[in-house]
Amino acid sequence: MTTPPPLAPPASWYRDSIAVELGDCPPLEGEVRANVCVVGGGITGCSAALHLAERGYSVVLLEAGEIGHGASGRSGGQILPGLGTDITTVEKALGRERARDIWEMSREAVRLTAELVERHAIPCELAWGYLHAAVKQRHVRELEAFRERMARDYGYPALTMLQGEALREHVVTDAYPAALHDAEGGHLHPLNYTLGLARAARHAGVAIHERSAAVEVRHGQPASVITASGRVTADFVVLGTNAYQAGLMPELSGRIMRAANYMIATEPLSAERAARVLPRNDALSDANFVLDYYRLSADRRLIYGGEVSYDGREPRGLEARMDAKIARIFPVLKGVRIDYRWGGDVAITLDRAPDFGRLGRNVYYAQGYSGHGMALSGLAGKLLAEAIAGQSERFDVFAAMPHRHFPGGRAMRKPLLVLATNFYKLRDRL
Ligand SMILES: Cc1cc2nc3c(=O)[nH]c(=O)nc-3n(C[C@H](O)[C@H](O)[C@H](O)COP(=O)(O)OP(=O)(O)OC[C@H]3O[C@@H](n4cnc5c(N)ncnc54)[C@H](O)[C@@H]3O)c2cc1C
């Protein structure tokens, strides 16, 4: 048995701009039989449930809080190809050919996001264009080398290096010496997207139960998933609990580190002011290891993320720090009002590659997107459904990625990661 995660979602601009009506999803009561029990109502879980139901499986989805309670309902909303780790990490582990498969699937993940938005008419402000911005000259060289390499070895055509006036047409600041524009990247309202997937899953026949934390998964054929007031007996279990699993499966939690990330939303900007920030409505993240990222919402708020914490406590002076960064990058925004701030947890793996796999024969999981899961978690759901249906080739390409537990056991995991992150923060300053 384990402690359920906290139920109350934080107030956020996302919560205050919900545009998808999901309807009532009452807590699970009593005993239920299903083909598949999905645990977790983020993008991984909702996409898995949707794709399984579309294949004809009976599916029960259990969510500890409300749909989108975790990272999916709080994130920066940037929809990007690639992984949370460099493609070199994948090449080293699996070879160039497999790395190419994974890269292509990460592109498919972005296309799938757009398809799902369109097919299910999800009102989530999907927009295209992404900038990966150099903060220093070292980054300019690294980004240019990356562009060349992706064109040469991966046939990736979407990257363009922007500098000077060409860059200012996309982001009006002197803060970046250059940026790599990725025409395949984009952004959306993450909570509405997640709720839209849940709504589509429901229409496809999935029984969704909110406020229904799984407190135990009993292996077996069938397996059982136990909540405080019910039990689902299922042929398969899918765990899409990511950073929020709170010890449900210790086999999984040892492979990820939970780290909090913070976001703010400013007041809505006038059209004229927004055009002096991100005139083409791109999303942007900087090239620092501990990165800042931002985009405009449809009502022209600057949604700005950055700052990490490993003990779950909000860093001191967070809002003032964000405010100062925004004013430095965009002097035109000096004194802009910050209307919202919130945090959410990401699951980081040791090498920042996502962690997909099985526990026993019929419990599947996908986790550890390491801050880069908005698009990939949607594809993970589809791959989980393929694997359960007996077509596991594509899922297994990801599952072949070797993952180690964090060194030092539970006690030393955080101090070691803090140490490593501080090293990279220092490097970011050089
Ligand atoms: C602040 C922030 C900004 C981010 N920005 C970006 C970005 O711009 N681009 C990008 O690609 N990625 C970003 N990410 C990462 C991205 O949001 C995640 O990788 C992705 O949403 C993971 O989805 P998920 O469904 O796997 O996990 P989650 O969305 O975290 O969902 C897990 C769900 O499982 C539920 N759960 C956990 N335990 C149980 C249980 N025992 N029983 C029932 N339910 C349970 C939780 O309540 C939660 O709803 C960001 C993350 C954060 C926190």
pLDDT-derived band at 408 (thresholds 50, 70, 90) equals low
Taking the CA of residue 67 as reference, the ligand 1 atom at the shortest distance is 49
Task: List the residue whose alpha carbon is closest to atom 50 of ligand 1.
Answer: 75
Q: What pTM did the predictor assign?
A: 0.95
| Gap from CA of 368 to ligand 1 centroid (Å) | 9
Among 99-103, 283-287, 342-346, 423-427, the least confident range: 423-427
CA–CA distance, 34 with 51 (Å, rounded to integer): 15
> To 10 degrees, the CA torsion angle through 4, 10, 15, 16?
150
pLDDT at 421 over 90: no
CA–CA distance, 300 with 323 (Å, rounded to integer): 17
Q: Helix, strand, coil shares of the chain as percentages rounded to 5?
A: 35, 25, 40
Q: Is the dihedral of CA 141, 142, 144, 148 positive or negative?
A: positive
290-335: pLDDT as tens digits:
899 999 999 999 999 988 888 778 888 888 899 999 999 999 999 9
Residue 142 three-state SS: helix
Task: List the residue whose alpha carbon is closest to atom 12 of ligand 1.
Answer: 372
pLDDT at 75 over 60: yes
| Gap from CA of 149 to ligand 1 centroid (Å) | 31
**Residue among 252, 318, 346, 382 whose CB has most ligand 1 atoms within 8 A, to mutate:** 346
Question: What is the rounded average pLDDT of the residues 229-245?
Answer: 96
CB atoms near residue 259 (< 10 Å): 21
Question: What is the rounded average pLDDT of the residues 77-83?
Answer: 97
Taking the CA of residue 73 as reference, the ligand 1 atom at the shortest distance is 29
Task: List the residue whose alpha carbon is closest to atom 51 of ligand 1.
Answer: 75
What pairs with residue 293 in β-bridges?
A: 285, 305
| Gap from CA of 242 to ligand 1 centroid (Å) | 6
Pairing of strands 355-359, 178-187: unpaired
Residue 380 three-state SS: helix
Helices (H), 212-256: 250-253
CA–CA distance, 385 with 52 (Å, rounded to integer): 5
What pairs with residue 252 in β-bridges?
A: none
pLDDT at 427: 58
| Gap from CA of 222 to ligand 1 centroid (Å) | 27
pLDDT at 377 over 70: yes
Share of the chain above pLDDT 90, in %: 83
Which residues line the pocket of ligand 1, CB cutoff 6 A? 5, 39-45, 62-65, 69-72, 74-78, 80, 213-214, 240-246, 248, 261, 263, 293, 305, 344-346, 369, 371-374, 377
pLDDT at 339 over 70: yes
Taking the CA of residue 380 as reference, the ligand 1 atom at the shortest distance is 26
CA–CA distance, 298 with 371 (Å, rounded to integer): 23
**Residue among 238, 242, 285 whose CB has most ligand 1 atoms within 8 A, to mutate:** 242
pLDDT at 423 over 70: no
Taking the CA of residue 65 as reference, the ligand 1 atom at the shortest distance is 47
pLDDT at 168: 97
CB atoms near residue 271 (< 10 Å): 8
> pLDDT: is 11 or 204 the higher one?
204
CA–CA distance, 306 with 325 (Å, rounded to integer): 10
pLDDT at 241 over 60: yes
| Gap from CA of 129 to ligand 1 centroid (Å) | 23
Task: List the residue whose alpha carbon is closest to atom 18 of ligand 1.
Answer: 373
| Gap from CA of 349 to ligand 1 centroid (Å) | 14
CA–CA distance, 239 with 237 (Å, rounded to integer): 7
323-336: pLDDT as tens digits:
999 999 999 999 99
| Gap from CA of 133 to ligand 1 centroid (Å) | 25
Taking the CA of residue 370 as reference, the ligand 1 atom at the shortest distance is 19
256-281: pLDDT as tens digits:
999 999 999 999 999 999 999 999 99
pLDDT-derived band at 289 (thresholds 50, 70, 90) equals confident
pLDDT at 247: 83
122-159: pLDDT as tens digits:
999 999 999 999 999 999 999 999 999 999 999 999 99
pLDDT at 411 over 80: no
The mean predicted confidence, pLDDT, of the chain is 93
What pairs with residue 159 in β-bridges?
A: 182
User: Domain boundaries in the chain?
Assistant: 130-186+258-346
Q: The CATH number of 130-186+258-346 is which of 3.40.50.620, 3.60.10.10, 3.30.9.10, 1.20.1260.10? A: 3.30.9.10
**Residue among 12, 72, 345 whose CB has most ligand 1 atoms within 8 A, to mutate:** 72
Taking the CA of residue 283 as reference, the ligand 1 atom at the shortest distance is 8
Residue 245 DSSP symbol: -
Residues 187, 193: contact at Cβ < 8 Å?
Answer: no
| Gap from CA of 91 to ligand 1 centroid (Å) | 26
